[in-house]
Amino acid sequence: MQFFENFNLKKFNTFGITAYARWFGEVSNQNDFDELLNFYHETKMSLLPLGCGSNILFTNNYEGLVAKISTKGIRKVSEDENTATIDVAAGELWDDVIKFCITEELYGLENLSGIPGQAGSSPIQNIGAYGTEVKNCIKEVYAMSIDDGSLLRFSNRECQFGYRDSIFKREMKGKAIITHVLFSLSKTPEFHLDYGGVAEEVGRLSNNNPDIATVSKAICNIRDSKIPNPTEIGSAGSFFKNPQIPNEQFVQLIAQFPCMPHYPAADNRHKLAAAWLIDQCGWKGYRKGDAGVNNKQPLILVNYGNAGGSDIIELSRQIQDSILEKFGVYLETEVNIL
């Protein structure tokens, strides 16, 4: 395994931000993991595991060791009449996981088609889209302790999944590197199409007789119509979480803004659409220098070329302040800010 000093991370984050890692190495197998930990303990630097960099914003150089996880492998490890379990290496591209499921006709992840990133990142964020969260299909997550290299195993419950949240964003952050994920998938189609125009697009593509490939294609079409391609315009997808507010506050807001989109949530709360709140404050299509807000989906902040991480974060704070002032609602960031 090679380690590179003062390594430019511009091509390793989808925002396209120029930032330098003090040290950088790429992990492709178990021997590389062992070498990585040895180097980590020798240098006593902080360690950042990195997938596709699709949910990260660098605001400074990283004065530590960045480990690009590039391990590969997808295999079916068990099955019965109704379900199959697949074991996916952390470095597998998420698109390739979806393609495997389509080929094998394994159901449950198709609504997450088109999300950039890698399999090992999916449980950290508990990625979700179009009425589905990855936690619904995760059976177990395996990780390596950064402290001593021991294998750690987390059941679905032990992952402590929440909305765009998990134990890996909290207690285990900086303590473990996810190595592979086990997904339990159905052999029987049970499509969830009642969200965000999915049923209409599926019907257009399939004459209302969908298969898993059609549903996946419909999801990708909808995403492509709203979300900029990060290879063309730098972004990290949704920058903010959809806020969840107490019902008491919701009653007051809906009386004042009767057209406000909303969805029931757990614990006597309501979820609001962050994109709508941002749009109402006039941010859609806003641009200052090379930092801006997407003109189709205002939940996405973009880098038009040479914006720095500080430019993006300044814009995000201005948006947060305006939402708080107009609606009394604070928008939490979904992106990992470093």
Q: Which residues are catalytic?
A: 164, 238, 334
- Per the rule left: phi > 0, alpha: psi between -120 and 50, beta: everything else, 71 is beta
In one-letter notation, the amino acid at residue 335 is: V
Q: Are 241 and 331 in contact (CB under 8 A)?
A: yes
In one-letter notation, the amino acid at residue 333 is: T
- Among residues 82, 128, 74, the alpha carbon closest in space to that of 101 is found at 74
Which two three-digit tokens encode residue 66? Answer: 């960045």
Measured CA to CA, the distance from residue 313 to residue 290 in angstroms comes to: 13
- Among residues 204, 215, 205, 179, the alpha carbon closest in space to that of 106 is found at 215
Q: Are 72 and 51 in contact (CB under 8 A)?
A: no
Which two three-digit tokens encode residue 237? Answer: 């997808």
What is the residue whose two structure tokens read 């979480």?
Answer: 241
- Among residues 76, 126, 117, 111, the alpha carbon closest in space to that of 96 is found at 117
Return the number of other C-beta atoms located less than 10 Å from residue 221's C-beta. 17
Q: Are 88 and 180 in contact (CB under 8 A)?
A: yes
Residue 255 half-sphere exposure toward CB, CA atoms < 13 A: 6
Rg (C-alpha) for the chain, rounded Å, is: 20
Measured CA to CA, the distance from residue 192 to residue 54 in angstroms comes to: 25
Q: Are 223 and 240 in contact (CB under 8 A)?
A: no
